[in-house]
């Protein structure tokens, strides 16, 4: 296996692990219908960072990171929508006690 192919394989496997791990957390919130202790700022920060990283990855032409960060952007958007939905359903305040709010 060439060095480039090895680097790409490490990148794609790592990407899959990251996306699956964070996607599983969002899925859990969806299934349980609860988002207690999850700050909306987590997802807003993830969305902002993912936009920046996706743009950067496109500019440098690194497709492992383009795909990973685009999927992370979708994960962040979905997670944010689920947090809002769950809080609306439960009548919970927009942020859990002790979390940043504004």
pLDDT, position 95: 55
* pLDDT value for 102: 40
Domain boundaries defined on the chain = 3-89
pLDDT of residue 85: 92
Contact predicate 18/76, CB 8 Å: no
d(CA 84, CA 92): 10
pTM recorded for the entire structure:
0.77
pLDDT tens over the chain, length 102 residues: 788 888 889 989 999 999 999 899 889 989 999 888 888 888 899 999 999 999 999 999 999 999 999 999 999 999 999 999 998 988 866 555 444 444
> How far apart (Å, rounded) are the C-alpha atoms in residues 69 and 65?
6
72, with CB counted inside 10 A (0-12, 13-18, 19+), is buried
Q: Which CATH class is domain 3-89?
A: mainly alpha
3-class DSSP assignment, residue 93: coil
């Amino acid at each position: 296996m060439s060095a480039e192919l090895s680097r790409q394989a490490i990148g794609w496997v790592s990407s899959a692990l990251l996306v699956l791990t964070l996607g599983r957390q969002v899925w859990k919130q969806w299934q349980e219908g609860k988002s207690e202790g999850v700050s909306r700022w987590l997802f807003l920060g993830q969305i902002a960072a993912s936009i920046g990283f996706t743009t950067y990855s496109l500019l440098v032409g690194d497709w492992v990171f383009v795909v990973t960060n685009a999927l992370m952007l979708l994960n962040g958007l979905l997670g944010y929508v689920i947090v809002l939905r769950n809080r609306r359903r439960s009548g919970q305040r927009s942020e859990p006690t002790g979390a940043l709010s504004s």
